[in-house]
């Protein structure tokens, strides 16, 4: 099939590479000329495991190319929209970029086609887009909701082996084309779940908000564990062993970040408010999430109770919102650095992939140094603060960490083994670890 993908970010680029690799002919469009130039020359605009190899292979084999031209992109059997839908101040998703793309598509459309919406959009958006094309195009555009569930850090794997594919559509033709689109992935039939577009849109929000709720739930339990001298690791094991609950997403820590959970929770809070629904579970989830990093921050302050923090320097491990990505959107680490830096002498940071994007976002901070590796400058730091659980931080070289001036580790992801840290003469402070 001839496919054009509109929006070449984390979702669009991975979709483009994976659909091309499954044999489709893919043209990937973005408004960002620099990004398209970079990608056309075989370089990647983002870090995502396995993506670079896949891109290179499919560009070389002629199944994947890039453009900024909507005129070229509209000459396809189907268009797949992967545009960003960030939060507005009100919490509602901002459809400005998506609307610009729709207008461009309507302008350059030359034939009937299918338009698949992969972006996470408010409930009713597919109906609205359907209406838009009925009003603004003489061609028949069939709108199909196909929300994406890939996770940054394992996006290629998730795309090729999805837990399910949600398709919101009405017509037989739409169902047929979606089966054809995903046929090369050789999925079990039951993995494609058909429903109405509104249900598909809400399924996406329900999934993300459920996962965010699990994170806030375990974080609240970790607060209780701290108050009661209990241990969150043991509680997680006991709780997660119940198959109805499961261990996934039960890691207490600094809370969720990234470009999806915070904005999708905000969208549901806004929807609840507009609908006058009483009691918002999502407002509580968001509040706990915001509280969690404040609790961690206060633990740092408390640990240095008798000293002036202005004389103390901190080494931060991890800047991305989660491991295996360079994405720092809504990263708790960045938030913590912005809060901590005015209070302390100096901040040293290291992240395996997110240093370039973080250096832009933290350019206003004067007392920060981007270190060459996880131990460079460790002897100038009083304490280590772990914010992102990259694998390479899992087994630290304690001989080097012993050079921390105050020998303290604040583990914002409960990632390190407390007993091992203590055995090396270093104080360990986690969340709900007692
Ligand atoms: N990132 C994730 O892990 C993830 C997972 C599932 C779903 N989603 C959803 O998918 C959507 C895309 O997310 P993302 O993280 O890939 O966003 P992104 O910001 O990484 O990428 C969006 C891309 O769209 C381009 N763009 C914006 N307006 C355009 C226009 N008018 N014409 C052409 N290109 C345009 C941008 O330049 C950018 O490259 C969002 O709705 C998001 O909620 C994201």
At residue 187, the pLDDT reads 76
Which protein residue's CA is at the shortest distance from atom 20 of ligand 1? 9
How far is the C-alpha of 162 from the C-alpha of 148, rounded, in Å? Answer: 10
Residue among 30, 80, 258 whose CB has most ligand 1 atoms within 8 A, to mutate: 30
* 247 C-alpha to ligand 1 centroid (Å): 30
Which protein residue's CA is at the shortest distance from atom 26 of ligand 1? 7
- By DSSP bridging, strand 78-81 and strand 165-168 are unpaired
Is residue 260 part of the annotated active site? The answer reads yes
CA gyration radius for the chain?
23
At residue 396, the pLDDT reads 97
Q: Rounded to the nearest 10 degrees, what angle do helices 281-303 and 332-340 cross at?
A: 40
Query: What is the position in ligand 1's atom list of the atom closest to the CA of 8?
Result: 39
Which protein residue's CA is at the shortest distance from atom 7 of ligand 1? 148
* 173 C-alpha to ligand 1 centroid (Å): 27
| Ligand 1 binding site (Cβ under 6 Å of any ligand atom) | 6-12, 29-32, 35, 82-85, 97, 100-101, 119-120, 148, 150, 152, 259-260
* 121 C-alpha to ligand 1 centroid (Å): 11
Closest alpha carbon to 142 in 171, 166, 120 = 171
- By DSSP bridging, strand 25-29 and strand 113-117 are unpaired
Residue ranges in the chain whose pLDDT is less than 70 = 188-189, 306
User: Are 314 and 381 contacting, i.e. CB atoms less than 8 angstroms apart?
Assistant: yes
**One of 18, 74, 169, 260 is an active-site residue; which one?**
260
User: Are 52 and 41 contacting, i.e. CB atoms less than 8 angstroms apart?
Assistant: no
E runs forming strands in 205-337:
313-317
At residue 85, the pLDDT reads 98
Closest alpha carbon to 331 in 410, 248, 409, 413 = 413
DSSP string, 145-159: E------TTSHHHHH
At residue 307, the pLDDT reads 77
Q: How close are the terminal C-alpha atoms of the chain, in Å? A: 57
At residue 343, the pLDDT reads 94
How far is the C-alpha of 108 from the C-alpha of 72, rounded, in Å? Answer: 8
79-114: buried (b, 16+ CB within 10 Å) or exposed (e) per residue? bbbbbbbebeeebbbebebbeebbebbbeebeeebb
* 363 C-alpha to ligand 1 centroid (Å): 24
DSSP string, 169-202: --SHHHHHHHHHHHGGG---GGGEEEE-HHHHHH
Domains present along the chain, CATH in parentheses: 2-195 (3.40.50.720), 197-434 (3.40.50.720)
Residue among 12, 98, 158 whose CB has most ligand 1 atoms within 8 A, to mutate: 12
What is the Cβ-side half-sphere exposure of residue 193, based on CA atoms within 13 angstroms?
Answer: 13
Mind listing the pLDDT tens digit for each residue in 195-233?
A: 999 999 999 999 999 999 999 999 999 999 999 999 999
Which protein residue's CA is at the shortest distance from atom 15 of ligand 1? 10
At residue 189, the pLDDT reads 67
Residue among 148, 163, 258 whose CB has most ligand 1 atoms within 8 A, to mutate: 148
* 83 C-alpha to ligand 1 centroid (Å): 4
At residue 351, the pLDDT reads 98
* 117 C-alpha to ligand 1 centroid (Å): 11
């Amino acid at each position: 099939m001839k496919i054009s993908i509109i929006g070449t970010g984390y979702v669009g680029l991975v979709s483009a590479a994976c659909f091309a690799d499954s044999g489709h002919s893919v043209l990937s469009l973005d408004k960002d000329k620099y990004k398209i130039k970079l990608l056309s020359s075989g370089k990647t605009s983002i870090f995502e495991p396995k993506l670079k190899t896949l891109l290179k292979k499919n560009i070389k084999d002629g199944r994947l190319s890039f453009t900024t031209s909507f005129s070229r992109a509209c000459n396809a059997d189907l268009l797949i929209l992967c545009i960003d839908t960030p939060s507005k101040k009100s919490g509602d998703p901002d459809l400005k970029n998506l609307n610009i793309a729709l207008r461009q598509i309507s302008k350059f459309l030359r034939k009937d086609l299918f338009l698949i919406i992969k972006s996470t959009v408010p409930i009713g958006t597919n109906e609205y887009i359907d209406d838009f094309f009925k009003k603004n195009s003489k061609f028949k555009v069939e709108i199909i909701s196909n929300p994406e569930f890939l996770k940054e850090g394992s996006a290629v794997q998730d795309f090729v082996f999805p837990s399910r594919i949600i398709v919101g559509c009405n017509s037989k033709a739409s169902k047929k084309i979606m089966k054809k689109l995903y046929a090369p992935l050789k999925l079990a039939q039951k993995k494609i779940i058909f429903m109405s577009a509104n249900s598909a849109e809400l399924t996406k929000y329900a999934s993300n908000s459920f996962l965010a709720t699990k994170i806030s739930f375990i974080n609240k339990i970790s607060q209780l564990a701290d108050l009661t001298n209990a241990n969150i690791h043991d509680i997680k094991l006991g709780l997660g062993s119940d198959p109805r609950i499961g261990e996934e997403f039960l890691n207490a820590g600094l809370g969720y970040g990234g470009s999806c959970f915070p904005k999708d929770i905000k969208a549901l809070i806004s929807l609840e408010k507009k609908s006058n629904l009483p009691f918002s579970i999502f407002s509580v989830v968001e509040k706990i999430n915001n509280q969690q990093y404040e609790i961690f921050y206060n633990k740092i302050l408390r640990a240095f109770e008798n000293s002036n923090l202005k004389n103390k320097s901190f080494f931060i491990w991890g800047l991305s919102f989660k491991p295996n990505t360079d994405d720092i959107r809504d990263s708790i680490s960045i938030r913590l650095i912005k809060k901590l830096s005015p209070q302390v002498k100096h901040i040293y940071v290291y992240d395996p992939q997110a240093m370039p994007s973080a250096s832009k976002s933290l350019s206003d901070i004067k007392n920060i140094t981007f270190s060459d590796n996880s131990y460079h400058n460790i002897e100038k730091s009083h304490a280590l603060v772990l914010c992102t659980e990259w694998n390479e931080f899992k087994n630290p070289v304690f001989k080097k960490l012993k050079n921390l001036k105050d020998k303290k580790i604040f583990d914002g992801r409960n990632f390190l083994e407390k007993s091992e840290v203590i055995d090396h003469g270093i104080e360990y402070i986690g969340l709900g670890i007692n």
